[in-house]
Amino acid sequence: MAHLLITGGAGFIGSHTCLVLLEAGHSLAVLDNFTNSSPESLRRVVELAGPSAGRRLEVVRGDVRSHEDLKQAFEVAPVDGVLHFAGLKAVGESMSQPLRYWDTNVGGSRSLLSAMAAHDCRTLVFSSSATLYGYPDTVPIPESAPVRPINPYGHTKAAVERMLGDLAASEPGWRIACLRYFNPVGAHPSGRIGEDPNGIPNNLFPFISQVAVGRRACLDVFGGDWPTADGSGVRDYIHVMDLAEGHLATLDALLTSGEQLLTLNLGSGRGYSVLEVINTFRAISGKAVPYTIASRRDGDAAITVADPQLAEQRLGWKTKRNLHDICRDGWAWQQANPKGYSR
Ligand code: WQD
């Protein structure tokens, strides 16, 4: 088994991945500054992972941009690999705070890579995003599609991928994977961990579940006149447990195959419209989920769906859960935790 450093491990995708890694027998050091997450998520991850897990997860409260904090995290135990989730990820926020996004997402990754080299660790799984494709020419989108980000958040993900490509080419020994997530949603089926965004949710799923649980009054559907079957936007929603399992498969591939640089889409290859999501969520929750058709949101594309073939070919991984599973598990989390991790 490996000892792994997980940056941002208390966050939505990080916490679910920590659970899968613990269940696979790995030991973890989690570095998180908790600006957009809660230590409670990691307490529950240990609870779910079983009795031995407490001894195999150590939490370091700190920032990935801090040399001292990184040193402390690397000194927990010799690190066999890093999964790098720490970063900012709200498209709209990145438009108003670009330098904060460049500093955190690119500056943080840069600091991490220096610390990895200093501690002789050259295996990295990077949390990238399909946002870097911008407006796709074709759908489904293959990894060979042009990287054409249209917002600062997407630019920072593309910049880190570029930095990682240069690094992998500069010296042998680096084993790097860039995982381009489509739309991560849902929750662990226990309802104990899930997505807990700060403030008003930017993303569709947490907004719908907060309407269903009574925290929000009504959902705005951003556009009813898109060139899609029902006029609402279509996205590739991937269950967060499928995503977490995709990270485990990627880590195994890097540790065993010696791949220098893997760039993979993590998506289902199946698109669902906003109205389909609403109707499925209504059926699962039994809640009305009122909505209005509003104007389109700047920066949105009509349809964004992954071509997931390469991940299946290189990892032997593909998604197993569908929209019904996503809504069922997401609703179980929201019902059990109406205010997320805060009491
Ligand atoms: C999904 C669909 C909206 C909210 C974002 C970012 C990026 C990535 C995934 C990490 C679209 C519609 C949404 C609402 C709506 N994550 N919508 N009303 O924009 O596809 O991707 O999340 O990398 O952060 O690119 O996700 O959930 O915001 O939107 O109608 O209140 O729901 O128009 O069609 P998006 P989203």
Residues ≥6 apart with Cβ < 8 Å to 290: 211, 217, 218, 219
Cβ distance 60 to 73 under 8 Å?
yes
CATH number at residue 50: 3.40.50.720
DSSP state of 302: S
Instruction: Report pLDDT for 80.
Output: 97
> Ligand 1 centre and the CA of 226: distance in Å?
15
C-alpha 203 to ligand 1 mean position (Å): 5
Averaged pLDDT, 140-149? 98
Indicate which atom in ligand 1 lies nearest the CA of residue 301.
Answer: 34
CA distance 4 to 36: 21
pLDDT at residue 194, as a whole number: 98
Q: Is the pLDDT of residue 299 over 90?
A: no
Percent of the chain beyond pLDDT 90? 96
Helix axes 323-336, 274-285, angle to 10 degrees: 60
Residue 176 half-sphere exposure toward CB, CA atoms < 13 A: 26
Residue to probe by mutation, ligand 1, list 204, 268, 296, most atoms within 8 Å of CB: 204
Question: What are the tens digits of pLDDT across the range 149-177?
Answer: 999 999 999 999 999 999 999 988 999 99
Residue 65 pLDDT: 98
Scan for tokens 């904060």, then name that residue: 100
Residue 259 has pLDDT above 90, yes or no: no
Find the radius of gyration of the CA atoms of the chain.
19
198 class by beta-carbon count within 10 Å (0-12 exposed, 13-18 middle, 19+ buried): exposed
285: pLDDT confidence band, cut at 50, 70 and 90? very high
Average pLDDT, the chain: 97
In a domain, 339, yes or no: no
* Containing structural domain, residue 18: 3-185+238-269+306-319
Any domain includes 79: yes
Q: How confident is the model at residue 257 (pLDDT cuts 50, 70, 90)?
A: confident
Q: Does the pLDDT value for residue 312 go beyond 90?
A: yes
In a domain, 148, yes or no: yes
| β-strand pairing of 57-61 with 27-32 | parallel
Structural domains of the chain, count: 1
pLDDT single digits (tens) 39-81: 999 999 999 999 889 999 999 999 999 999 999 999 999 999 9
pLDDT tens for 78-98 read 999 999 999 999 998 999 999
Give the closest residue (by CA) to ligand 1 atom 26: 203
pTM exceeding the 0.75 threshold for the entire prediction: yes
Share of the chain above pLDDT 70, in %: 100
Q: How far is the CA of 51 from the centre of ligand 1 (A)?
A: 37
**What is the model's pLDDT at position 343?**
59
CB within 6 Å of ligand 1 — which residues? 89, 91, 129, 131, 181, 183, 202-204, 207, 219-222, 233, 235, 274, 297, 300, 304
Does some domain include residue 332? no
pLDDT grade for 258, boundaries at 50, 70 and 90: confident
**Residue 301 in domain:** no
**How many CB atoms within 10 Å of residue 158?**
21
Asked if residue 247 belongs to a domain, the reply is: yes
How far apart are the C-alpha atoms of 36 and 282, rounded to whole Å?
28
Instruction: Give, in degrees to the nearest 5, the angle at Cα 217 between 211 and 218.
Output: 75
Q: Which of 293, 311, 321 is nearest to 184 (CA)?
A: 321
Q: Per the residue annotation, which of 153, 181, 237, 291 is the catalytic one?
A: 153
Q: Where does the chain have alpha helices with state H?
A: 12-23, 39-49, 67-74, 91-96, 98-101, 108-118, 152-170, 204-212, 240-257, 274-285, 309-315, 323-336
Active site residue 153: yes
pLDDT higher than 70, residue 249: yes
Asked if residue 184 has pLDDT above 90, the reply is yes
Each as own residue / partner, the long-range contacts of residues 284-288 (CB below 8 Å, 24 or more positions apart, any chain) are: 284/324, 284/327, 284/328, 284/331, 285/212, 285/327, 285/331, 285/335, 287/211, 287/212, 287/213
C-alpha to C-alpha distance for 315 and 306, rounded to whole angstroms: 16
pLDDT of residue 306: 98
Pocket perturbation via mutation, ligand 1, pick of 181, 235, 239 by most ligand atoms within 8 A of CB: 235
User: Residue 22 falls within a domain, yes or no?
Assistant: yes
Angstrom distance (rounded) from CA 14 to CA 8: 6
> Does residue 330 sit within a domain?
no
